[in-house]
Structure 1
Amino acid sequence: MADVLYTGRKSESFMLRLPERMKEEIKRMAEMDGISINSAIVQRLARCLREERANEQ
């Protein structure tokens, strides 16, 4: 995945509840990308936020 911006530095931790199906899908995608579930979630959130900012302009 080209959007690698999660480095683990200066990050905050919090609990996230996900529907089981969503968690399994994210886990599968993370495994395919060779990254952790956490990194997969962070990358997708970052991409979504960038796209939303671009659409607001």
Structure 2
Amino acid sequence: MNEVLYSGRKNHSFQLRLPECMKDEIRRIAEMDGISINSAIVQRLAKSLREDRANGQ
């Protein structure tokens, strides 16, 4: 996922609990992309929301 969707600006924060296996997978993907876990999560959420809007959801 090379498209940058997250600017890195400080916004609202909250604690997110993830299953350990999911956190490990996100960590691995983030490392491969050279970004933080937070950025990887935000990028995937942004992509999902865009797709939902495009599908009229």
User: 3-state SS of the aligned residue for 1:51?
Assistant: helix
- Note the residue ranges of structure 1 that are not aligned, 5 or more in a row: none
Name segments (4+ residues, structure 1) moved above 4 Å.
Answer: none
Count of residues in Structure 1 that have an aligned counterpart in Structure 2: 56
- Note the residue ranges of structure 2 that are not aligned, 5 or more in a row: none
Measured on the aligned residues, the alpha-carbon RMSD in Å equals: 1.3
Report the equivalent of 1:26: 26
1:40 partnered with 2:40: yes
- Shifted more, 39-48 versus 5-14: the winner is 5-14
Q: State how far apart, in whole Å, the 1-side matches of 2:19 and 2:42 are.
A: 17
TM-score by length of 1: 0.90
Q: Letter of the 2:25 partner, please give it.
A: E
Residue 43 and residue 17 in structure 1: after superposition, are their counterparts in 2 closer, same or farther (change >3 A)?
Answer: same
CA displacement 1:7-28 (0-9 Å, x = unmatched): 2324111000000000000000
